[in-house]
């Protein structure tokens, strides 16, 4: 749930009040980088084995706090499609830094580190291009001339198939 009272006015505290439980950021990561857009895809493909009740509560929380929107799937009226909001898209630099820190200090698996390493190598200009890709995919903005997805796919000749 969105907290009704703020423990302090500090922007770091308030960011943590909004996204500071690990499962919220895991769900945003899966929507953002792996383009999983339905409850089913988010549940079944999640590498960390998120529980169905936790996923459902986080999707409600993220929707209520303005990080995701939910619209009916045109092909399955009962299913919802989740989209990132502009506020969520602006988490890209934070997630890129989180991933870069993780590569240095948490001994991640090699395969799972590749996107993080490419994101760090590309720096702010690549993050910005990636955010434009996300605005196209999630907010209906025009398709950008230069796609970060393409760039991330073809670096070193390897496809990052788990991404998108």
Q: Which is nearer to a second copy, 20 or 72 (CB)?
A: 20
Of the residues 15, 45, 125, 154, which one makes contact with a second copy according to CB under 8 A: 15
Instruction: Provide, rounded to whole angstroms, the least separation between the CB of residue 155 and a second copy.
Output: 17
By CB under 8 A, tell whether 99 contacts a second copy: yes
Spatial separation of the C-alpha atoms in residues 47 and 49, rounded to whole Å = 6
Q: Which is nearer to a second copy, 44 or 111 (CB)?
A: 111
Contact 37, 83 (CB under 8 A): yes
Q: Which is nearer to a second copy, 78 or 106 (CB)?
A: 106
By CB under 8 A, tell whether 43 contacts a second copy: no
Of the residues 1, 77, 105, 156, which one makes contact with a second copy according to CB under 8 A: 105
Instruction: Provide, rounded to whole angstroms, the least separation between the CB of residue 75 and a second copy.
Output: 30
Residue 153 neighbours by CB under 8 Å, 6+ apart: 159, 160, 163
- Per the structure block, which two tokens stand in for 155? 């670096």
Cα pseudo-dihedral 103, 105, 106, 108, rounded to 10: 20
Of the residues 41, 98, 151, 163, which one makes contact with a second copy according to CB under 8 A: 98
Strand partners, 82: 70
The alpha carbon of 25 is separated from its chain's Cα centroid by a whole number of angstroms, namely 7
N-to-C CA span, the chain: 29
**Residues at the contact surface with a second copy, assessed by CB under 8 A:** 7-18, 20-22, 25-26, 29, 47-49, 66, 87, 90-91, 93-95, 97-109, 111-113, 116
């Amino acid at each position: 749930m969105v907290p009704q009272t703020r423990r302090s006015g500090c922007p770091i505290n308030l960011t943590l009040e909004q996204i500071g439980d690990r499962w919220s950021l895991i769900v945003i990561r899966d929507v953002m980088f792996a383009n999983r857009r339905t409850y089913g895809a988010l549940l079944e493909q999640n590498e960390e084995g998120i529980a169905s009740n936790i996923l459902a509560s986080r999707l409600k929380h993220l929707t209520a706090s303005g990080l995701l929107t939910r619209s009916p799937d045109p092909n399955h009226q009962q299913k919802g499609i989740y989209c990132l909001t502009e506020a969520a898209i602006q988490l890209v630099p934070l997630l890129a830094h989180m991933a870069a820190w993780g590569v240095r200090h948490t001994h991640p698996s090699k395969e799972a580190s590749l996107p993080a390493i490419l994101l760090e190598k590309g720096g702010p200009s690549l993050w910005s291009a990636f955010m434009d890709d996300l605005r196209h995919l999630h907010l209906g903005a025009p398709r950008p001339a230069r796609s970060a997805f393409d760039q991330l796919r073809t670096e070193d000749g390897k496809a990052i198939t788990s991404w998108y």
